[in-house]
Chains A and B, each alone.
Chain A
Amino acid sequence: MRVLMFGWEFPPFVSGGLGVACEGLVRGLRELGTKVLLVLPDHPRARRRGRREPAVRIRRVRTILAPYVTEETYVRERVEEVERDPGASLYGPDLHSEVLRYAGAAAKIALRESFDVIHAHDWLTFLAGVHAQRATGKPLVAHVHATEYDRAGAAPNRFVMAVERAGLAAADRVVAVSGYTAEILGTRYGVPADRLRVVHNAIDAGRPLARWTIEEGDPLVLFAGRITRQKGPEYFVEAAARVAAEMPEVKFAVAGEGDRLADMVAQVAAHGLESRFLFTGFLPSEDLDRLYARADVYVMPSVSEPFGLTALEALRQGTPVILSRSAGVSEVVRHALRVRFGDVDDLASKILAVLLYPPLKATLSSRGREEVQRLSWREAAWRCTGVYRELVRE
């Protein structure tokens, strides 16, 4: 089986869960003997984060599209890029035209390669997948890691949603990272159940436990991830204020960047919690592992979380997790606490329970860690190959 895969993030250029998931899946597929040719965007100023360059065939397409791009960030990006290099005016004048240009350029690769299945990850690559499907007649698998509905809720970007709908309508199979996402794809995007499959994200447990080298001290509550509306950062701060009022020694760490960072900092200040909060910015995975290991509890208060890989990363370090009920990862972990997003009293109460009742923390930690050790990307990859086989047989 040969797969032409359109991805967006891949080590060493990773800024979110999509890159981690894509890498895990490709590694799992390789272990199963599936050949993958990966088509990736080649951003002139991509920041290398992490060291590993995986052994996989890669074709790169020049673009200034970046993961988690918006119309505003794209236009800003292009202005800056053209100032730096006049040749950059080749890139589309707005997000819309650049996504179309990229799709065409990426799909050209399809004509020069031979493969059995096309596999595209999220909306930025969907049109490339659709072009390749039309050009070659090979079946298309659209893999959904997040939808515009998750990112934007009631105020979606119409262009992004139109691209999502076009990709999902053309796809021969749609793979969702959770039952939660499959539900959204069914109800909000009208994807029929017979074309919809769930392949849960996974984690490879092989890593050694990280050690926190800084002196151990006060109880620590951790938030990690992009600081965007979707991740519910304001609920974290509200809950933190309630927890801090009960436990004077507790501290809070926020690892990540995003468009709501300034709001979050202001909210912390408004509660007078500056001395209790540590904002680390984006952390490479080794440092993040150390922070997970140091934290007493990891909180994911997301408004809508298609999967939520960071929860598995925290559990791998034996850190108890409190998950939003609107998170797909809930479907694969039993040994976690759950809250309705926005219910900050319940969230604060559960944070306090983990900090105050030692057997609770110990049990969530040991049973949770056992649970993630049973997961593997190979399993997820095996499920994907099942989807490929359905199509190749047809």
Chain B
Amino acid sequence: MIPVCLYFQVHQPWRLRRYNYFDVGREHRYFDDAGNRELFRRVADRCYLPATAMLARLLERHDRFRVAFSVSGCLLEQAEEFAPEVRGAFRRLAATGQVEFLAETSHHSLAWLASRSEFTAQVALHRRQIVETFGVEPRVFRNTELIFSDALAAVLEEQGFAGVLADGVEPLLGDRSPRHVYRAATPGGLPLLLRDYRLSDDIAFRFSNRAWPEWPLTAAKYERWISGSDGEVVSLFMDFETFGEHQGRDTGIFEFFEDWVDLRLRKRGTAFLTPSEAIERLESRGVLSAPRELSWADEARDLSAWQGNELQRDALKALFALETRVQAAGSPELLSDFRRLSTSDHFYYMATKSAADGEVHAYFSPYESPYDAYIAFMNVASDLERRVPRRAASRPAEARPRLSPPL
């Protein structure tokens, strides 16, 4: 039986409030507290609580069941503030010893694309958050939205990680199968585990789509597809919000998943592996190289979901232009605001793509348009810029960026 490696992403961004130009210099609270609380409570009730309860039942019934999570620091902060019972629910899963927690950046951020030092700092912060919350040390890394490249793998190897996750896309695999463990193109050959995006998206995207010829997807049918797959491990990676939020309870997603796990565990042998177990037990089948950054987002599976247009590139540049000044200021509030702004979601909302990608971006966005997302972000960044002290000696006094118009 080919084993399955399950990993669920758990994350909520700190969405910005409606922040207009006249708030700059006057209003230093950037985040939509009421909106974030309301949304978190809703997702907790629809997904986090019932889905963790379902997993708890499965872990209790089957000591061979395994699952992995990557929980962002933003999510842990919000859980603490808005719904502490969510943290407790994940802690109980951690206590079974059958659950692995992965490493990522504390703020589910784009720091990797902007600053090596901030990336490293956020990874270290996340590690502390996971150790403190769950009492386990993460060993395997997954970058924000599965952003991956040779350069990233090299840095992770240096930092001592045991392996890394990426999406099993053609630019990386060529005609090879995603259902093996590979090695990254690094000196030490960092183990690489790849998402089977077809089988993952059958659940995450297509499960409730009645226009899909395979609808309705049953546990038995899905298990036939999995056990009929060649290779050594099927990696199913998806948002945890798939359960109850992206796919509502009334679609039958919970029953489907529970049935499928039960069905799979009726057979003997290794049915599930955590990412660490997969990397330890399976031989590597060769080296895969990603000279350019890849990801699991949009049709293009590259960085275009967050850095595809001029607005998105400008916004990331404007934020990270403040990095050294924020660091030097030594203020926890400034650093926290800065890091919450580095979260990938803010940039995702600014995408101007159309068609299917555009619809997915719009589904997640709290804004009416990508332009509103950019304006709110830039106004907030302007305010942050005014708050961080200038380093008087090292740099000549410069005007506020872009205070004068482009004429």
Contact = CB atoms under 8 A, between A and B. Distances in A.
A355 B405 contact: yes
Contacts of A348: 21-22
Given A242-B22, A353-B379, A338 B369 contact: yes
A259 interface: no
Given A296-B405, A337-B371, A360-B374, A353 B21 contact: yes
A337 B372 contact: yes
Interface stretch (B55-63, B307-315, B341-349): B307-315
Contact of B402 (A216, A337, A356): A356
B22 A345 contact: yes
Given A247-B405, A348-B22, A359 B371 contact: no
A181 B50 CA distance: 45
A236 to B, nearest CB: 17
Nearest to B400: A356
B21 A360 contact: no
A356 B22 contact: no
B284 interface: no
A210 B266 CA distance: 74
Given A219-B407, A242-B22, A348-B21, A357 B378 contact: yes
B368 interface: yes
A319 to B, nearest CB: 14
A357 B21 CA distance: 11
B162 interface: no
Interface string B356-387: 00000000000011011011001100000000
B229 interface: no
B133 interface: no
Contact of B407 (A218, A338, A350, A359): A218
Interface stretch (A9-17, A102-110, A362-370): A362-370
Contacts of B403: 356
Contacts of B406: 358, 361
B20 A362 contact: no
Contacts of A345: 20, 22
A123 to B, nearest CB: 33
B20 A349 contact: yes
Contact of A360 (B313, B368, B371, B407): B371
B352 interface: yes
B381 to A, nearest CB: 10
Nearest to B406: A358
Interface in B1-53: 20-22
With a 10 A CB-CB cut-off, give which of B314, B352, B369, B407 has the most chain A CB atoms.
Answer: B407
B369 A353 contact: no
Nearest to B19: A349
A219 B407 CA distance: 7
Interface residues of A, number: 32
Contacts of A80: none
Contact of A334 (B309, B369, B402): B369
Contacts of A246: 21
B98 to A, nearest CB: 47
Contact of A357 (B20, B368, B369, B375): B375
B378 A353 contact: yes
A346 B378 CA distance: 15
B407 A357 contact: no
Nearest to A338: B368
Contacts of B372: 337
Given A242-B22, A349-B20, A349-B22, A357 B374 contact: yes
A24 B372 CA distance: 33
Contacts of A338: 368-369
A249 B407 CA distance: 11
A359 B405 contact: no
Interface string A319-342: 000000000000000110110000
Nearest to B20: A349
A352 interface: yes
A337 B402 CA distance: 20
Contacts of A249: 405
Nearest to B382: A356
B310 A363 contact: yes
Contact of A356 (B310, B354, B405): B405
A353 B375 contact: yes
B291 to A, nearest CB: 28
A217 interface: yes
Contacts of A337: 369, 371-372, 375
Nearest to B407: A219
Nearest to B23: A349
Contacts of B314: 357, 359
A362 B310 contact: yes
A347 to B, nearest CB: 10
A247 B378 CA distance: 17
A226 B402 CA distance: 34
Nearest to B368: A338
With a 10 A CB-CB cut-off, give which of B368, B378, B405, B406 has the most chain A CB atoms.
Answer: B405
Nearest to B18: A346
Contact of A352 (B21, B313, B368): B21
Contacts of B369: 334, 337-338
Interface of B: 20-22, 309-311, 313-314, 352, 354, 368-369, 371-372, 374-375, 378-379, 402-403, 405-407
Kindly list the 10 A-B residue pairs having the minimum CB-CB distance in the complex, ordered from nearest: A349-B20, A349-B21, A359-B314, A359-B310, A358-B406, A353-B375, A352-B21, A219-B405, A355-B405, A359-B311
15 contacts: A216-B407, A219-B405, A242-B22, A296-B405, A337-B375, A345-B22, A349-B20, A349-B379, A353-B375, A356-B21, A357-B378, A357-B402, A363-B310, A363-B371, A367-B352
